[in-house]
Structures are given as C-alpha cells and as structure tokens.
Chains A and B, each alone.
Chain A
Amino acid sequence: MSTATTASPPTATATPRHPGVRRPSLLRLTGVELRKLVDTRAGLWLLITIGLFAAALVVVQLIWTDDAAQTFPNFFLPSMLPIGLLLPVLGILSITGEWSQRTALTTFALVPRRGRVVAAKLAAMVLAALASVLVSLGVAAVGTLVAAATGGAGTWRMEWALVLHAVVLQVTNVLMGAGFGLLLLNTPLAIVGYLLLPTLWSVLGEMIRPLHGPAGWLDTARTTEPLLTPEVTAGQWGRFAVSLLVWLAVPLVAGLLRTLRREVS
C-alpha cells in the first residue's frame, strides 16, 4: 500500500458520497462485538453455562455449608470463580473465532483498520466482565435472601473494597484471555494456553526451590489471592501488577502486533 499512499494525501474532508460514509465509531463497533458474543449457539451456551455454574455454587452452599457461613460475601466470592475461569474463554472465542470461522475476511474488509476491531473486542469483553460482577452480586443477593429465609446467617455486611477487587480481577481475567487469543490466533491453543500455562507455572514455582522467589511475583494464582480479601497492601498490588505485565500486557501487545500484520486469507 505504501506507494499508493504517498500518491494521494488523505482526503477525509471530501464531501461524502453517502451520508453514512463516515467511519464506524468505536461505540458502534463495540456494540457489534457485544452482539457477536451472543449471536452464535456456542457463545450463547457458554454464557448460559457460566450463569448456571455461578447459580449452582450458591445452591450448593445453601444446602451444604454451615448456617453461620451463609453470608453475602461468602456467596459473592465463590460465584466469581466459574465466571473468572470461563468468561475469558468467551473472549478467546470472539478473537480466534474470526480466524477459525474465517470471518476475519469479512470483518477486516468492512473495517480495514484492524486495531479498531481489536479495541472494540476488548471493550466488549471489559463490559462483559463488568456485567459478570453484577451477576455475581445478583446471585449472592438471592442466596443471602434464601439463607435468611431458611435459617442461615443471611447477613449482608461486606467490605465494598471487595467489589472493586472483583471488578479488577474479572477485567484482568478477560484481558488475559484476550491476550492469549490475539497471540495464538487459534481456539484450542489459546484456551489451553490460557488455562494451563499459568497453572503449570504455579506448579513449577512450588516444586522448584530457586523459582520460589520469582513465583511470588509472577504466579497469578498467588498474586491475585490478596484481591479476594478486603485489605490489599501496596506490596501486594505491586506483585499483582508485575504478574499482569507478564501474563497480560506482553501477550496483549505481541498479539496485537501479530493480528495487525497477519495476512487474511
């Protein structure tokens, strides 16, 4: 494209032929990407499954845990677990699906600036992560109400910092998935990579003594743990940030570069 670009300066101010010839806004593209998350059977069922898992956990707790433990935060925190694990898979699918289903050909023909498509996808995933926290709050609230009615503790008291932490956790989770999706551009590879690599690193970090030190900074399983409590120290935030740099920022940037350059065929 280089030779042709130099020949004609951008004429974006030229009178548009169609009234709608303006480029699609990021808002519109995000709307499209949100819709793409749910308009296939795979996506829809993945979302339904996530919701069912979160609800099932609450039911399990209502039946089997001690009455005293049936509190709002105790319903809220575990419900985030299946969501944190599976929602990123939806994010991975929305990226790798473009290549496995070959829709990249049509998507990038309509929006040739691929960075905008990727930005819209990330925005859609962040919105989905935010919505997932609302779902967690919702099922926890229902759980608490039922607990109160059936003799459980049913107490509502929760440190609101936990909600903020939940938002941070879920958003970083989906972005981490997106990073793996962008980098590997292959559905099974990205899902396995996203689910397995950090865990593998955790196991190795436990087993191999010289790795103990770095693992405290790089093992996401360990660095995210403090976020499940209301109190997070500056040092813990630091470790969390470093682990994100490795597991989120690096794959995301490298993946973005790969996606921008890859030939679509």
Chain B
Amino acid sequence: MITVAHLTKRYGRHTAVDDVSFRCEPGTVTGFLGPNGAGKSTTMRMVCGLTPPSGGGATIAGRPYRELPNPGREVGVLLDASAQHAGRTGREALTMAAATMGVDRRQVATKLDLVGLNEVAAKRRLRAYSLGMRQRLGLAHALLGDPRVLILDEPANGLDPEGIFWMRGLLRDFADRGGTVLLSSHLLREVEAVADRLVVIGGGRIVAQGDKAELLAGGGTLVRARDGVTLRGALERAGLPATEGTEGLLVHADAEAVGQAAADAGVALTELRAAGGGGLEQLFLTLTAGASTREAVR
C-alpha cells in the first residue's frame, strides 16, 4: 500500500508539486495521469526518498521509503529506464541489484526471461539497448526482489504496441495477486485499459481522482441498432431516457441496463459502449493543451 499525504515540492518560487494526497490499495492498479511537467515524476521521486519534499510525506506499507530496511524486496521502482550504466551488460546490471538486495542470482535469469530479454540481449551492453529494451530491463529490475508494490514512471514509453499489451497483462496479474501498482503516464488511453483507479495531476495539483469507472462514466452509454425506432421504444419501455446523438442513441444508464432492455425487446444491437470519457477526457485535454509552456520548467 502506498499513502501519499500533502506532498509538496517547491523549487525557489516555483511549486512543482502542491499538496498532493492519494492512496494506492493492494490489489489495484492506480494510473497517475498528467501532462509532461505536471509533477508526476517529482511526486514519485519524493515517494521513493530520492527527492526531499518541501512538505508532507509518503509511506509504503506504513513506513517512509527511507526507513525500509531493504526497499528492493518491498517496492519495485522504475523511475527512468535510461538510468543505468551504459557500459554494463543487461545481466550485469541485474546481477548487481540482486547482490545488493541479497536476492538469489538465479532470479536474474528468471526475471530476464519474464520480461522477454533473451540470452543475446542480456549479454549486450546497455548503450546498445533500444528504449523499449531498457524499459523491459527496468521492469525486470523492479520485479527482481519479488516486491508487493510497484512504482513505475512512464513504463510504456518506447514499448511497441505488443510490448504495451504484454506489460498491461503483467501489471494486471501482479495486482490480481494482491500487489499494489502505481504507474504514471501522460496518455489517458494508455492506462485506461489497465488501471482501476485514476489520479489526475495538472500543474502540481490533483485535479481529479477516483475509480476509473466513476471518472470515465458520466458520459452515459452509446447504443445503436439497425432498427433504431424499435430500440428507442424498448428503451422508453424500460424507463431509460435516450437522446439522439450523432453516432447513435445516447442513454444515461450503464451498458448492462441498456443491453438488457434491448435483449428483452429482441432488438439486435450493432454497437453498445460507454460514450467516451466525457468530463475526464475534456479535463485531460485542457491540461495537456496548457502544458507545453510549463514543460520547460522541470
């Protein structure tokens, strides 16, 4: 479990992180979203004891990171996949971490295998690694101590679509086995598929947080059938008010209720889905639009 309470970081007069609080529970994946420069990385570095906060604090399993006796065995951290010595081989980088944590050397091969880095890649020096390979190695590094908590900063960067799909599965599985995952991204779509909860940060402040379903709902359900008139009638009978949208009928109810109403009336649907993230997506776009100017300031 990760608890972040009133975390604040000021650089001179610039406040990079402003009173950020949230919790990540075991068994969940929390997506930490925000445009570049919003304060995601600074927050994560503060959680990991690498950046001293100006105010507030964070704990992992009830303890501040710096007080964990052997942090690598409790928290897997991937903050920057490129933060490895370019002259070491992939295997050497992991062997070193294993030696530090006191993890069995055999775990190195196991974890390399798990993230899909083969024998050839493991023997190569890191300067020859692509960003995607570095991310995989970074993930292996984070998983090396068999931790219960994962903190990953933009882990999907540089991964190809297949790699992103694979990583989602890995993180989902990790959380389903009781692990806690905090992962950041500047792309809503990237974490939407895997996160249970979302924390959205902009300009150093939290602008929204909650269950993904809750945050993404509100837009209602979009439904379409070849026989639009019958569908409309069926929805009315079920007491679900619908409005005509550009793409189909927009219903203020969840997909299950709408589908059931259609099934009861024997209408064949051609489309049934959440009508887009509405508020959240709009909010996110607004944040991103203003972000490019803040980008330069760390």
A→B interface (CB under 8 Å)? 1-5, 7-8, 10-12, 16-18, 20-24, 28-29, 31-32, 35-36, 39-42, 97, 101-106, 108-113, 261, 263-265
**Cross-interface CB contact of B74 among A17, A24, A41, cutoff 8 Å:** A17
A102 to B64, CA, bound (A): 23
**Cross-interface CB contact of A101 among B53, B62, B84, cutoff 8 Å:** B84
Say whether B69 faces chain A, with CB atoms less than 8 Å apart.
Answer: yes
Query: How close is A127's CB to chain B, nearest CB, in angstroms?
Result: 16
A24 to B84, CA, bound (A): 21
A31 to B100, CA, bound (A): 9
Decide if B101 touches A20 in the complex (CB within 8 Å).
yes
Decide if B63 touches A8 in the complex (CB within 8 Å).
yes
A194 to B85, CA, bound (A): 23
B→A interface (CB under 8 Å)? 5-6, 41, 45, 48-53, 55-59, 62-74, 77, 79-80, 82-88, 92, 96-97, 99-103, 141, 145-146, 148
Query: How close is A187's CB to chain B, nearest CB, in angstroms?
Result: 13
Enumerate chain B residues within 8 angstroms of A22, measured Cβ to Cβ: 69-70, 102
- Nearest CB in chain A to that of B147: its residue: A18
**Cross-interface CB contact of B69 among A8, A23, A35, A102, cutoff 8 Å:** A23
- Nearest CB in chain B to that of A11: its residue: B63
- Contact A106 B57, CB 8 Å, known A1-B64, A5-B64: no
- Contact A8 B62, CB 8 Å, known A20-B101, A40-B88, A42-B87: yes
A39 to B53, CA, bound (A): 34
Decide if B59 touches A111 in the complex (CB within 8 Å).
no
- Contact A12 B70, CB 8 Å, known A109-B48, A112-B49: no
Enumerate chain A residues within 8 angstroms of B87, measured Cβ to Cβ: 40-42, 101
**Cross-interface CB contact of A24 among B45, B70, B146, cutoff 8 Å:** B70
Enumerate chain A residues within 8 angstroms of B59, measured Cβ to Cβ: 4, 7-8
**Cross-interface CB contact of A265 among B45, B49, B82, B103, cutoff 8 Å:** B45
Query: How close is A39's CB to chain B, nearest CB, in angstroms?
Result: 5
Decide if B96 touches A36 in the complex (CB within 8 Å).
yes
Enumerate chain A residues within 8 angstroms of B80, measured Cβ to Cβ: 102, 105
**Cross-interface CB contact of A4 among B58, B84, B96, cutoff 8 Å:** B58
Query: How close is B19's CB to chain A, nearest CB, in angstroms?
Result: 12
Residue from B6, B41, B67, B85 whose CB has the most chain A CB atoms within 10 Å: B85
Decide if B6 touches A35 in the complex (CB within 8 Å).
no
Enumerate chain A residues within 8 angstroms of B64, measured Cβ to Cβ: 1, 4-5, 8
Residue from A4, A31, A39 whose CB has the most chain B CB atoms within 10 Å: A4
- Nearest CB in chain A to that of B56: its residue: A3
Query: How close is B163's CB to chain A, nearest CB, in angstroms?
Result: 21
Enumerate chain A residues within 8 angstroms of B99, measured Cβ to Cβ: 28, 31-32, 35
Enumerate chain B residues within 8 angstroms of A108, measured Cβ to Cβ: 49-50
Can you name 15 A-B residue pairings with CB atoms under 8 Å? A1-B64, A3-B55, A3-B57, A4-B56, A4-B64, A20-B73, A20-B103, A21-B74, A22-B70, A32-B99, A102-B82, A102-B83, A109-B50, A112-B49, A264-B45
A108 to B68, CA, bound (A): 12
Query: How close is B181's CB to chain A, nearest CB, in angstroms?
Result: 17
Residue from A8, A12, A265 whose CB has the most chain B CB atoms within 10 Å: A265
A11 to B61, CA, bound (A): 11
Decide if B96 touches A39 in the complex (CB within 8 Å).
yes
Query: How close is A31's CB to chain B, nearest CB, in angstroms?
Result: 7
A183 to B203, CA, bound (A): 34
Query: How close is B133's CB to chain A, nearest CB, in angstroms?
Result: 16
A25 to B53, CA, bound (A): 28
A25 to B148, CA, bound (A): 22
Decide if B77 touches A109 in the complex (CB within 8 Å).
yes
- Nearest CB in chain A to that of B55: its residue: A3
- Contact A20 B102, CB 8 Å, known A4-B5, A35-B96, A109-B48: yes
- Nearest CB in chain A to that of B92: its residue: A39
A264 to B65, CA, bound (A): 14
A243 to B87, CA, bound (A): 36
Enumerate chain A residues within 8 angstroms of B145, measured Cβ to Cβ: 18, 20
Decide if B53 touches A24 in the complex (CB within 8 Å).
no
**Cross-interface CB contact of B51 among A35, A103, A263, cutoff 8 Å:** A263
Enumerate chain A residues within 8 angstroms of B68, measured Cβ to Cβ: 112
**Cross-interface CB contact of B5 among A3, A32, A39, A104, cutoff 8 Å:** A3
Residue from B49, B74, B92 whose CB has the most chain A CB atoms within 10 Å: B49
Decide if A1 touches B49 in the complex (CB within 8 Å).
yes
Residue from A10, A24, A97 whose CB has the most chain B CB atoms within 10 Å: A24
Decide if B72 touches A263 in the complex (CB within 8 Å).
no
A24 to B92, CA, bound (A): 19
**Cross-interface CB contact of B100 among A5, A16, A28, A101, cutoff 8 Å:** A28
Query: How close is A84's CB to chain B, nearest CB, in angstroms?
Result: 25
A1 to B66, CA, bound (A): 8
Enumerate chain B residues within 8 angstroms of A31, measured Cβ to Cβ: 99
Enumerate chain A residues within 8 angstroms of B56, measured Cβ to Cβ: 3-4
